[in-house]
Amino acid sequence: MVIGAGSFGTAVAVLLARGGLRTTLQTRTPEQAEQLQGDRENRAYLPGVAFPRELRVEAAHSGVERADYVLLGVPSTAIDAVVSSVERGGLSKDAAVVSLAKGLVPPSGTPPTAILLRRFGAKRVACVGGPAHARETVSEGAGLVAASTEEALATALAGVFIRAGVVCEESNDPIGVELAGVAKNAAALASGATEAQGLNAAGAAAGHIFAEMWRWAETLGARPESVIGLAGTGDLVATALAPQSRNRRAGELLAHGVPASDIPARVGQAVEALETVPLLARALAHAGVDAPVTAALGQLIAGELPLDEWVAVVRTTVPPPARWRPAMRLGWWQRLWARIGGPFGPDRHARPPSRRSNASSLAGADRVVLSRRPSQDEQIFTPREGEVATLASNPETKERAGASPVPRRAS
């Protein structure tokens, strides 16, 4: 069952019905259900896409008790109300609840699956992300990501979409997938608002938004592959290239001075980023994340910041410096062993007894370059069965270590 007959909700319902799955599309009002049933297409949001004969259309919340999967194709700001209604409608205790939203839940900017987890538990909650423009999804396919902390649910949900003919990745990082979608929408709006000022500025705006979001997502346990994969980078590229992108178009209208309250009517649909960005800015501030670009974008949406000042923030913001890790060094005992125990000892493959904790701290390292004086050989410790390799700075020393000479450069 798909609740929400916007463009993406309709596309998902059509896709699943075509795949032979018993599917119902639920609308917001009985009047909308009657219209869609009569037209057998969604002329408002997905014109020209005929409904499969097997697709049922009905008003919201009727027949929820028979659903095995409930896919919420509603804006994130409406999820709380819709979920309460679904529960009152007799939702089965075994039914999975799947968020299709790419936004945050007010008032504090909570990811939708965090709300659903509190209501239904981890075994029943999932989300879907990835590049999936509605019209192309039903005509050519998409690159979806089905995410749940419950492996069986992620696998089953991915299987549902694959059966319907769409590539779908499995993920166990729903927070990362959701926040990647949030950042994508915000970045698309930010780049749209900045594009007329230059492509470098537009790219910087999108990059800052993703970086600021990631510093928050990381504290929630999200993983970077969710952001750099289909749900983040893939979805952003699809949105940036799509001429019909609602969020990018909303940014362009903001740049032309159109008030945010007038933009949905101009675009013809709800623009989730207009409500998501202020919530994201609030969540970042609450988490103590320095996010000047996201905060400034929220002010631009609210009409509190002129466009030229928004662009100035984008162009002058310097991200936090990298978190440099100090070089790992072996103690003097390990350095001595590398010199005399390795090449000349009875068992040169044995590791020396550790008089410090240095050796144990290197167990997970691929290699560590030891600090040395200019006259010393450069040594590389390779923690593979305790093996120590000595790379000499001249051919003679390397021959003594049992390796082939280093070829000299021809003069």
For 139-153, write each residue's pLDDT tens digit: 999 999 999 999 999
pLDDT at 126: 98
Which of 174-188, 232-246, 392-406 has the highest average model confidence (pLDDT)? 174-188
Assigned token pair, 390:
């000595």
Distance of CA 317 to CAs 93, 288, 309, Å?
49, 17, 12
Confidence of residue 265 (pLDDT cuts 50, 70, 90): very high
* DSSP conformation class of 229: S
Catalytic residue among 102, 123, 184, 398: 184
Q: Residues 288-316: pLDDT tens digits? A: 999 999 999 999 999 999 999 999 999 99
pLDDT at 398: 39
Residue 409 has pLDDT above 60, yes or no: no
3-state helix, strand, coil in the chain (%, to 5): 50, 15, 35
Percent residues over pLDDT 70 in the chain = 80
Nearest-angstrom CA–CA distance, 365 and 381: 9
Domains recognised in the chain with CATH numbers: 2-172 (3.40.50.720), 176-316 (1.10.1040.10), 332-400 (no CATH)
**What count of residues does the chain have?**
411
Residue of 63 and 74 predicted with greater confidence = 74
Q: Residues 77-103: pLDDT tens digits? A: 999 999 999 988 889 999 999 999 999
Residue 397 has pLDDT above 90, yes or no: no
Q: Residues 337-364: pLDDT tens digits? A: 667 765 555 454 555 444 444 433 333 4
Residue 387 has pLDDT above 80, yes or no: no
pLDDT at 367: 37
Q: Please enumerate in sequence order all residues whose Cβ is within 8 A of that of 138, keeping only pairs 6 or more positions apart, or say none.
A: 11, 14, 15, 18, 46, 49
The model's pTM: 0.77
Q: Residues 156-183: pLDDT tens digits? A: 999 999 999 999 999 999 999 999 999 9
Residue 208 has pLDDT above 60, yes or no: yes
154 burial level (CB within 10 Å; 0-12, 13-18, 19+)? buried
- Active-site residue 398, yes or no? no
